[in-house]
Structure 1
Amino acid sequence: MTRPADIDVRPVTEADFPDWNRALNTGFLMPPAVARAQLDARREQFVPGRTLGAFDGKRCVATFRSFDQEITAVGGALVPADAVSNVTVTPTHRRRGLLTRMMAQDLAAAKERGDVVSTLIAAEYPIYGRYGYGPATTMTEWTVDVPRAGLDPRARIPADGGRIDLVDGADVRDLGPGLHERVRRSQPGAVSRPELWWRARTGVVSTNGTPWTEPFYAVYRSADGEVEGMVSYRADDHWGDAKQPLETATVEWLLAATPAAERALWHFLCSIDWITTVKSGWRSPDDLLPHLLPDPRAARVVTQADWLWVRILDVVRALEARTYEGRGSVVLEVGDRAGLTGGRWRLEAGPDGASCTATTGSADLALDVGELGTLWLGDESAVRLAALGRVREERAGAARVVDALLRTSRRPWCPDMF
């Protein structure tokens, strides 16, 4: 067995890239051989210095990639983030500290660049807390029993004077980015989508190597012709024994800039002939979907889990970037084992803005940087975390003060996997 100190952790070069991709596929239990088209598509994501590998001799045995991202803070500010993805360790090289070394390199570089937070979608829950990440948003998936939903099959859809049109991939690439910009600026937890995202979701490139089958795309336009919603969905081909169609529409993604667009698109999906089940895909935990149906019980929760994880890299900029509905002051003792942003900070916030400054005053609430990441977007409760022993009140009632400042009326949500 090669000693951990003899395994070289370094940025990947162009010459390393094919072997790095073989290790990536191996780590995610995909066929190790990488097709040329898949390699070319992934090469578009390659950023020198941001793609790391661990090498045992000439063979890559661990992978790591980060890229520039913007995340929407509470209130709509776009915050620079270091997005982490493609993290794997080959089964033969587990438990040798390879991820720890790659993570330390990346977070130090992100701090140096001036990124405010780091983000990721965790495949496994227990891994990332030790690096200062905390689960900051949740996702929920529903299955809708269409016959039970109570919608009138004769009703005009949409009923508000707007219209729904089926479009193709070129239309999605043309109309989608502008719609997404509108949506993400009003949705805390939403992240930026690069141009490659739209090309991959419309079959221009394939980063996973699977054959492309075009889905259905539908666009909702308001009565004045403005694009306010868009959905991508697929349908299966399932019929019952009595020659009855029992098909399922599975939503890949749905964007809605207005409640009217959201209502129209869900009603449209539930009105398609032969469709008896609609799978919602990954949605916000307080999504409107169930209550857009006459019988909300027709929408059954099938998945609910943590989604976007946040690692605070700059406490001051993170807390000053977001808005606050209430007014108050609290001193936070933030622990950070990596030494990137720990310290004691006084947050003074109100509807007109916030300031966060270093202080030597007595702490009101003590917490790890991972718990601060969990609280930052306003979804979790400091009172709940105190009950779980994950934060500690140094002053009685401090957790309630933090909740009054940080929690939001609508829950944050990240619509993307990355």
Structure 2
Amino acid sequence: MIEYRPLGENHREAFSEYVSYGFTPESGPVDFDPDEDDPERMQLGARRGLFDTETADDDPLVVCLHHWFDALVRGDHHPSPGLSMVASPPEHRRKGYIEDLLARSLSEYRDRGDRFSLLWPFRYRFYRQFGWETASSRHAYTCEPSVLSFARDRLDEPGEFRSVDADEYELLAGVYDAMAERYALSIDRSDDWWTHRIFTGWDEDPYAYVWEHDGEVRGYLVYFIEGSWGDRSMRVRDLAFRDTEALLALCAYLANHDSQIAELSFTLPTDVPLRDLATDPDELDCELSNGPMARLVDAVETLPALSFPAVDAEVTIDIEDPLVDWHDDPIRLVVEDGTSTCDRVRGADPDLAIDVGTLSQVVVGYRMASDLERLDAPDDVVATLDRLFPRDQTYVDTGF
């Protein structure tokens, strides 16, 4: 019998070994040291595993980690766990254990009343087969520091930068929260997340600086400087800003490192027009990259919990779900002046059939139904979905 349950203290070594082999196999096997191989930053979240109860071996077959996040969807925060550290040793692969682990994780989420599941995939097509779908994108920038020197000339308010440490994380959190309100799927970070994940590194801790103007923190940067003299690079782990002036201040700060580093890298939401601001946009390498994937947990419970536009609409949906059975029956969503109900309607004729991943994209605002050429539905049904679920700007830059 296969059992899904929390990992105990006696499973710390197995968890560390599975994760190490799964994500950094080039490091080779190591003798487990709790302080070195399982630091506090790794212990955030809830560890789960599958166990074969018919063997004497108490080691898990496969493992994962759940972060109990809240994410912003349709203007409100909803419980949306982050699924992470899904790992299997080679001897347990290709036996269906990962699929079982994902299904049981969703069952736990459903029992908890969670609305969405988020994850950063090692490969998008792998999780797509189980119902997760890309729900965010971002611009990844790489450039020489001098490319951002335009910001010094355009900055009207010089302000002041100063370094901060983990005890002052609330200064950064205020800026992050203000920026996060503008983006769907942004994650509400806990105190421990700031302390152990933003301000703490694997080997070295990052630098952290805030930009203040008129006594208010309006932007911040958290970054690493890597490499050796003549070939140093700066990697920005985290940044946020309240307005364009604060963005320019951050760019000017980065530009001032032109005597120290050869290259810097950072990410921004796709609606931030940095290339339009830059004097030499052709020197600013910009790559559109996918963010995390998202998945509805239980549509019947999630959809009525969302805020809808003040419209009257009704749609019956057949959800194609490869992983769980509670989406087997069609569902009927009724919205009257922004108030919604959703019920399972066994035997009803659906207005459209849609896979759970695509529906998840539409619900969170990453795609509109009318954008999806793969959606086989009458025009009036597509128009109804567009009215219920207009596009929203999604952005997630919290790694987990």
Partner of 2:33: 35
- 2:218 corresponds to 1:228: yes
Q: 1:190 to 1:348 in 2, by over 3 A?
A: same
Match of 1:313 in 2: 297
Equivalent of 1:364, from 348, 351, 355? 351
Shift in CA distance, 120/368, structure 1 to aligned 2, threshold 3 Å:
same
Give CA deviations for 1:219-254 in whole Å, capped at 9, x if unaligned: 1223x32212111123456777xxxxx754321111
| C-alpha distance in 2 between matches for 1:277 and 1:408 | 39
Counterpart position of 2:190: 194
Structure 1 distance, partners of 2:22, 2:111, is 29
Residue in 1 that maps onto 2:16:
21
Superposition deviation, residue 78 in structure 1: 0.6
Structure-to-structure mapping, 1:16-415, within 5 angstroms: 16-30=11-25, 31=27, 32-33=29-30, 34-37=32-35, 38-41=37-40, 44-45=43-44, 47=46, 50-54=47-51, 57-75=57-75, 77-148=76-147, 151=150, 155=153, 158-160=155-157, 163-170=159-166, 172-201=168-197, 210-212=202-204, 214-222=205-213, 224-236=214-226, 248-274=233-259, 279-302=264-287, 304-324=288-308, 327=311, 329-333=313-317, 334-337=319-322, 338-341=324-327, 343-348=330-335, 353-358=338-343, 363-385=350-372, 387=373, 389=374, 391-393=375-377, 395-408=378-391, 411-415=393-397
Measure how far apart 1:326 and its partner are: 7.5
* RMSD after superposition: 3.1
Judged with a 3 Å threshold, the aligned counterparts in structure 2 of structure 1 residues 174 and 326 are, in CA distance, closer, same or farther, namely closer
Change (3 A) 1:40 1:143: closer
What do the CA deviations read for 1:103-130 (whole angstroms, capped 9, x no partner)?
A: 2221111101111111111111122223
Give the SS at the match of 2:129: helix
Q: CA 1:226–1:278 in structure 2 vs 1: closer, same or farther (change >3 Å)?
A: farther
Change (3 A) 1:145 1:111: same
Change (3 A) 1:328 1:180: same
**1:160: Cα distance to partner?**
2.7
Greater shift, 338-347 or 52-61, is seen at 52-61
Of the structure 1 ranges 324-333 and 164-173, higher mean CA displacement relative to structure 2 is found in: 324-333
Question: Contact 1:12 / 1:53 at 8 angstroms: preserved in 2?
Answer: no
Contact 1:9–1:98 under 8 Å retained in 2: no
Q: 1:401 to 1:277 in 2, by over 3 A?
A: farther
Q: Is the 8 A contact 1:234 1:250 kept in 2?
A: yes
Alpha-carbon contact 1:78-1:185 (below 8 Å) kept: no
Q: Deviations over 1:173-204 (max 9, x none)?
A: 24223333333333211112233322234665
Identical counterparts, % of pairs: 22
TM-score (norm 1): 0.81
CA contact (8 A) 2:65 2:84 kept: yes
Summarize the Cα distance change of 1:58–1:171 in structure 2 as closer, same or farther, 3 Å threshold.
closer
In structure 1, runs of 5+ residues without a counterpart are 241-245
**Range with greater deviation from structure 2 (248-257 or 361-370):** 361-370
Q: 1:143, 1:277 within 8 Å by CA — same for their partners in 2? A: no
The aligned length equals: 388
CA contact (8 A) 1:9 1:54 kept: yes
Which sections of structure 2, spanning at least 5 residues, go unmatched?
A: none
Shift of 1:354: 4.1
CA drift at 1:414: 0.6
Amino acid at match of 1:370: G
